[in-house]
Every structure is written in C-alpha cells, then in structure tokens.
Amino acid sequence: MTVTENAVPKQRGAPFKPGQSGNPAGKPKGARNKTTLAMEAILEADAEGLTRKLLALANGGDMTAMRICMDRLYPARRDRAVTFALPKIDKAEDLTKATQAIMEAVSTGELTPLEADAVSRTVEAHVKAIEVTDLVRRIEALEVKP
C-alpha cells in the first residue's frame, strides 16, 4: 500500500456550517491566557516593591526608569483642544469662508496641518448635514404641491 492510498482526502470548501464552531466546547470568549494570568499574579504580589524600586532607580538618574515613570504619570497627549475663529456655517455656500479661516490658521501656525485636517472633516460633516436637511425640506415642499 502506498502513502497516497492511505491518505485522508483533503477537505474542500467550508468544513462547518455558518455560525457553527469547529470546537463548540473550546475556549470561551474573554478567556485569558494562563501565562498572562500567572504573570499578573506574580507582579501583583510584589507591585509595591517593584514600584518603589522603579522610583528609586528614576530618582538615581536611570533614564529608562524615568521614562517609564513619566509615561505613567504624564502620558503623551493624543490631541489638544483647538480654538480659533471659525465663521458660522449656515448653508453650504459658507464652506469657503470656513476653509479660508482654516488655511489662514495653518499658515500662521495657529493650527498644525493634522489639526486643520480634523477641523476640515468636522466642517465637511456639518455641511453635509445642512445639505441633507435642505434636500429633505425641498422634497417635503414638492410633495405638498398638488
């Protein structure tokens, strides 16, 4: 008998029905890895001692320890509040005034290009909302006409 005669044929296509797991008695959702749980238990038991040691190293001038402490005490900010003069946008035509104000804020350094992009997306969403409201109003007016 050759190896090919004894081989199990390959499964083609999806082996399970939609919504059916290959191992229904498998690991439940949200189950934690045993190694992770063990490490957390070890660290938790000596968390105070480790923290004191880290602070002692940081106070002693260890730059890595200082960085770790600063990362925990003062994490890097993801963004900041943006305040600048943005004209009121009541209709889609007001978009050019808003984009002009955004461009001026970038050119003077009041906004970074990334902040300007975020503000522009917000303005664009507001203009789309205005346009949709206007279209709904127009459709309702047409439906009322005899």
CA-wise closest residue to 84 among 113, 110, 109:
110
Residue 2 pLDDT:
57
What digits encode the pLDDT tens for the residues 80-112? 777 888 888 888 888 899 999 999 999 999 998
* Burial annotation 97-121 (CB, 10 A radius, 16+ → b, else e): ebeebbeebbeeebbeeebbeebbe
Which tokens go with 127?
A: 């203009």
Mark the ranges of the chain whose per-residue pLDDT is less than 70: 1-6, 8-9, 11, 13-16, 19-22, 146
**pLDDT score for 104:** 93
Residues present in the chain in total? 146
Q: CA–CA separation, 135 vs 141, rounded Å?
A: 10
Q: Does the reported pTM lie above 0.85?
A: no
Contact 97, 138 (CB under 8 A): no
